[in-house]
Structure 1
Amino acid sequence: MSNELYIEKNGAIATIVINRPQKKNAFTLAMFKELGALLDELETDKNVKVLVVRGVDETAFSAGADISEFLEVRFSAEKAKKYNDFALESIEKLYRFSKPTIALIQGLAIGGGLELASSCDFRFAAENSKLGITAANIGIVYNLTSTKRLYNLIGLSKTKELLYTAKLISANEGKEIGLIDYVYSSEEIEEKCFEFAKQIIQKSSVAISGMKKVIQSVVDGENEESEAISEIILASYCSDDYKEGIQAFMEKRKPNF
C-alpha cells in the first residue's frame, strides 16, 4: 500500500484519508485500485461502524482523476474501458458499503472526486468548497452509473446544467440543489462532521446496517420486499441489539450497543 491513501481509526469511526495534496488529491489508476482494497478491509472490520472519506487537509477533497496519466492509461477505447472498470468498481464498493459513509469535503470536489462524495450517504462541505463535473472540458462522456446517482440527488435539469456547462458551484449552491447535506465554515467542518458520526455509532449497528440495505433496495427500484430483505428485517428481532434496546427502554436508560 502507498501512503497516498490510508486509514485512520478513532474508536468505531474509520477515516479513509486521500493524501496527495501536491496534486489536489487527484486519483491515479493505482489509487482507485487501492481504494477498493481499503474498502474491502474496512467492510469486514466489525469494530468499524461509520466511515468518513476526506482529503488530508483543506487543499482538496479530490480534484478527480489525474489527467496527466490519461495519455498512458486512458487514451484509447480499450484502455479507457479498463480504466473505467477499475475506477467504477471501487466507487461502487463505496456506494454499496454496508455501514454509513460520510464525505468530508474541503476545497475541491471535482469529477471523480465528486463521484466519490456522491457515493457516500452524507456530504459535509466547508463553505469555501467548489464542486463540479468537468468531463465536457476534456471531451469525454460521463458514465451512466454516476450520472444516475447525480440525477437521484439533484434532479434532471440540474444534472444537465452541471454536465453541460462543466461549471464549478459553491458548497451553498450545492446544498440548495440537494448535492450537499450540511455546510459549515472551514473552522467548524471537521468537528461538525465527527459529531454527526458519533451520533450514528451510538445507535444499533444491526438496525442501521439493515435499514441501509432496505433504503438501497428502494433506490434500486424495488417496490416489494425481497426474500433477502424480509430475512434482514426478521433477523433484527432475534439480535442482541434488539434485546438490549427493549431492556434499556424498560429500564429507562440509554441502550449500550
Structure 2
Amino acid sequence: MDAALLHTVADGVATVVISHPAKRNAMTAAMWRALPELLPGLAADPAVRVLVLTGAGPTFCAGADISSLAGDEDPQALAVAAEEALAAFPKPTIAAIRGFCVGGGSQLAAACDLRFAEEGASFGVTPARLGIVYPASSTRRLAGLVGPAMAKYLLFSAELIDAEHALRAGFLNELLPAGQLVKRVADFSRVLAGRSQLTQAAAKEFADGRTDRDAYWTAQAAGSGDTAEGVAAFLERRTPSFTWTAAGSAAGTTAG
C-alpha cells in the first residue's frame, strides 16, 4: 500500500490514519505536507466535533521516512509545520496509539490534546541518535506534558520507554489492555462529541497558554445560548442540544 494519510468522518468523529505499513507508518515528506492541508477542511466541517489520529495496523508512527525527502527539503520544518497545524486544530484531538510512537510519531502525539494507548506501545524522542537539535516549540510542548526533567531524560538519551512509564510520566492520559483501544477511543469520542464545543474550544486555548482571548470567549458565551441550554437540560434531565460550533466561529482560524 502506498504511503498516505487516510481519513473518514462518521458520527461527529474525523479519523485520520497514518498509513505506511512498509515502514511502520513512518511519515514521508508528502505525508508531512498533507496534514496541514487536510486539517482546515476538517476544522470547517460542522459534522466534525472530534478528531482521532491513529496509525494503520499495529503501529502508530515510527518517525520520519528520511529516504522520501528531496535534497533541498528540511525534514524538521515539515514536521514542525504538521505538528503546529495539529496543535492549532480548534476541536478536541485524540492520539490513539498502538506499537511504536517514536520520533515524529511522538511529535504528532504530543500535539494532540489527549493520548490513549494500548499495552505494548513504545515511546521515544530520538534526535540525539542523529545529532539533530529538537525544535524549540516541540521541546516546550513535550516539557509541558511530562515536565522538564522527563523531557531531558527522553531527549538526552533517545531511549524508548514503555507505555506504563509513559503513563506515569504524564505523556498518556489512559492506558488500555490489549484489544480495548478502539472501543475506548470510540466511546470517549462520542462523549466529547456530545459536550459543548464552546466550553471545549475555550478550554483548549486557555490550557494551551492563550492569555489574550478572555473578552472574546466571554462574548462568545454571552451570545451562544449554550449555557442556558445546558442548565435547562440539566434541570429537565435531558441531553442538551448545544448549538455553538467551532466551525462557525472565529476560533476556527485564530486558535493556537
- Same fold per superposition (TM over 0.5): yes
Look up the match of 1:14.
14
Deviation, 1:132, is: 0.1
Instruction: Give the 3-state SS of the residue equivalent to 2:175 in structure 1.
Output: strand
Look up the match of 2:240.
255
Q: Deviations over 1:208-230 (max 9, x none)?
A: 112222222xx35x3xxx3x331
C-alpha distance in 2, partners of 1:69/1:208?
37
Q: How does 1:47-196 map to 2 (within 5 A)?
A: 47-58=47-58, 60-69=59-68, 72-73=70-71, 79-80=73-74, 83-196=75-188
Instruction: Give the 3-state SS of the residue equivalent to 2:37 in structure 1.
Output: helix
Give me the CA root mean square deviation: 1.7
Deviation, 1:183, is: 0.5
Instruction: Give the 3-state SS of the residue equivalent to 1:238 in structure 2.
Output: helix
Q: Deviations over 1:116-153 (max 9, x none)?
A: 00000100011110100111112211111111111111
C-alpha distance in 2, partners of 1:11/1:110?
30
Unaligned runs of 5+ in 2: 243-256
Runs of 4 or more above 4 Å deviation: none
Q: Normalization by structure 1: what TM-score? A: 0.88
Q: Deviations over 1:43-67 (max 9, x none)?
A: 1111111000000111x11011112
C-alpha distance in 1, partners of 2:182/2:174?
12
Comparing both chains, which one has the higher relative contact order based on Cα–Cα distances under 8 Å and sequence gaps of 6 or more? 2
Unaligned runs of 5+ in 1: none
C-alpha distance in 2, partners of 1:210/1:152?
19
Q: What is the aligned residue count?
A: 241
Deviation, 1:244, is: 2.1
Look up the match of 2:245.
none
Q: Normalization by structure 2: what TM-score? A: 0.88
Deviation, 1:3, is: 6.3
C-alpha distance in 2, partners of 1:19/1:148?
28
C-alpha distance in 2, partners of 1:146/1:214?
19
Look up the match of 1:39.
39
C-alpha distance in 1, partners of 2:133/2:158?
12
Deviation, 1:166, is: 0.7
Give identity over the alignment, percent: 35
Instruction: Give the 3-state SS of the residue equivalent to 1:86 in structure 2.
Output: helix
Look up the match of 2:247.
none
